[in-house]
Amino acid sequence: MQIHLLCFGHLTDYFGAEPRLMEMPDGATVQDLVEELERLEPRASQLAKRCRFALNEEYTSLQALLTPGCTVAALPPMSGG
| Domains contained in the chain, CATH given | 2-75 (3.10.20.30)
How many percent of the chain have pLDDT more than 70? 96
CA distance 80 to 4: 28
Number of H helices and number of E strands within the chain? 3, 5
pTM of the model: 0.90
54 CB burial (10 A radius; 0-12, 13-18, 19+): middle
Residue 3 has pLDDT above 70, yes or no: yes
Radius of gyration of the chain (CA): 12
CA distance 72 to 3: 8
Instruction: Summarize the confidence of residues 5-21 as an average pLDDT.
Output: 93
Q: What is the pLDDT of residue 4?
A: 98
